[in-house]
Amino acid sequence: MRKDTTYKGGITRRTVLSGAAAMGLSRVARAEQPQEVKVGLIVPLSGIYTRPGQVMKMGAEMGIEHINAQGGIKALGGAKLKLVVIDCGDTTEKAKNAAQRMVAQETDLVAATGAYLSSFTLAVTEVTERAQLPMLTLSYSDLLTERGFKFIFQTAATASRQSELGLPTLMKLAESASGKRPKTVAMLMDNTATSVATAKALKEKLFAQEGLQLVVEEVWTPPLSDATPLIQKVRSARPDLLLFMPNAVSDAKLGLEKISEFGLGQGKIPTVSFSITIAEPDMLQSVTPDVVQGIMTIVANWGSKGHEDLIAELKAKYKEPWMTQNVISTYGDMWLMKNALEKAGKADRLAVAEAFRNLDGGPSKYYPGGELKFDDKGRRVGAGVVIVQWQSGVPVTVYPPELAQASPFWPKKS
């Protein structure tokens, strides 16, 4: 699998180079020395988070390829972007060491993106901040942009913002689709940092605001060994809405199978998640499409309307069935870096960082909602969420309407 990916990557680069030559882009090259601008991708490529890291690499490679094919960085005489990939491993210490290696040995990087897990991003940005290297991230922990850092730029809505945006939207969706507002809610969650942050916002503010009554609340420590007691509680409480928040595919599988086994599946109790785990392609390796049918999740980004060509290319090139947040956000990061480089006019990390800070790139194409603009904290202005729903074996974007690939259906209680 891994070998296969590497092979494809090799093909890609060669194809691009020959393609670029064939398209007559050598005009710039003749004018001055062909220049390269290096950008970094620091993601887990070994250990238990390998898979998301690989997917992010696909997004980055596609982005670089498209940018270079369309003439590179025009402000730098058509300089090509070059991707430097660094494995940040599977522990916080490894991530910190890898970041140190990146800033010490790749001194000509102008920007980087990473590092999937928010704990890793925290450690990596402690290093990049001190090295004054601008860092884009799709991690959405609030803490990342609460440290007063000047060189971090968060493209996704933060965790607390996601629940603020997500729940009201969900309620509206339920009301319009089923004609009835949910009144009771059950929450099953693991105790990882993201789930805890989301649950905090929900319990302290949002449930009350939306008039929801919390009837079941269960927390587990991954890995979940048996979901029976959790689902039993849900069955006896019969809530209008179930928030099921796993962060490991195995936990998601156990929970969903049990929901199905207890006859609560197929939307008998509308089930919603808050992470991309439940919509990962890996899910279909362990459960059948009808087990996940109708399940929704609120995520920071997803392949949506307007990304059809990208999705098709991803399918053809990497055999990925659909485009998750990790691909589309990292793809978008490459374009964002290009934007900043055009604005900065030089391949210098301080200038690029300044360009990110003052960027005003209009509506965002590869992130949901808002603009290509960052506030003082480094958070993208107006960053929104998308709601994704499993429909016939594929998680498709159903909200917001301008990005929706399909209409949502709200499962009705039978």
Handedness of CA 344, 348, 351, 357 (dihedral sign): positive
Handedness of CA 198, 203, 205, 211 (dihedral sign): positive
x-or-dash string of contact with other proteins, 143-162, rule CB under 8 A: x---xxx-------------
Residue among 132, 176, 191, 358 that touches other proteins (CB under 8 A): 191
Stretch that binds other proteins, among 142-150, 157-165, 261-269, 377-385 (CB under 8 A): 142-150
Work out how close the CB of 45 gets to other proteins at its nearest, in angstroms, rounded to a whole number. 4
Stretch that binds other proteins, among 63-71, 139-147, 244-252, 309-317 (CB under 8 A): 139-147
Beta 386-391 vs 296-299: how paired, if at all? antiparallel
Work out how close the CB of 297 gets to other proteins at its nearest, in angstroms, rounded to a whole number. 21
Q: Does 221 bind other proteins (CB under 8 A)?
A: yes
Kindly state the number of chain residues that form the binding site for other proteins, as judged by CB under 8 A: 39
Q: Does 50 bind other proteins (CB under 8 A)?
A: yes
Q: Does 141 bind other proteins (CB under 8 A)?
A: yes
Q: Does 163 bind other proteins (CB under 8 A)?
A: no
In whole angstroms, what separates CA 353 from the centre of its chain? 22
Work out how close the CB of 319 gets to other proteins at its nearest, in angstroms, rounded to a whole number. 19
Rounded (10°) angle between helices 228-237 and 249-261: 50
Q: Does 105 bind other proteins (CB under 8 A)?
A: yes
For 84, the enclosing helix (H) or strand (E) is strand 80-87
Q: Does 104 bind other proteins (CB under 8 A)?
A: yes
DSSP string across 294-347: T-EEEES----TT-HHHHHHHHHHH--SS--HHHHHHHHHHHHHHHHHHHH-SS
Work out how close the CB of 277 gets to other proteins at its nearest, in angstroms, rounded to a whole number. 17
Stretch that binds other proteins, among 45-53, 161-169, 203-211, 249-257 (CB under 8 A): 45-53
Residue among 122, 156, 355, 388 that touches other proteins (CB under 8 A): 122
Tokens matching residue 265: 């599946």
Torsion of CA 312, 318, 319, 324, to 10 degrees: -70
The answer to whether 73 touches 338, Cβ cutoff 8 Å, is yes
Work out how close the CB of 311 gets to other proteins at its nearest, in angstroms, rounded to a whole number. 26
Query: Which of 229, 227, 263, 232 lies closest to 248, judged by CA?
Result: 227
What number of H helices and E strands is found in the chain?
Answer: 15, 12
Q: Which residues bind other proteins (CB under 8 A)?
A: 2, 45-47, 50, 85-87, 89, 91-94, 96-98, 100-101, 103-105, 118-119, 122-123, 126, 129, 131, 141, 143, 147-149, 191-193, 196, 200, 221
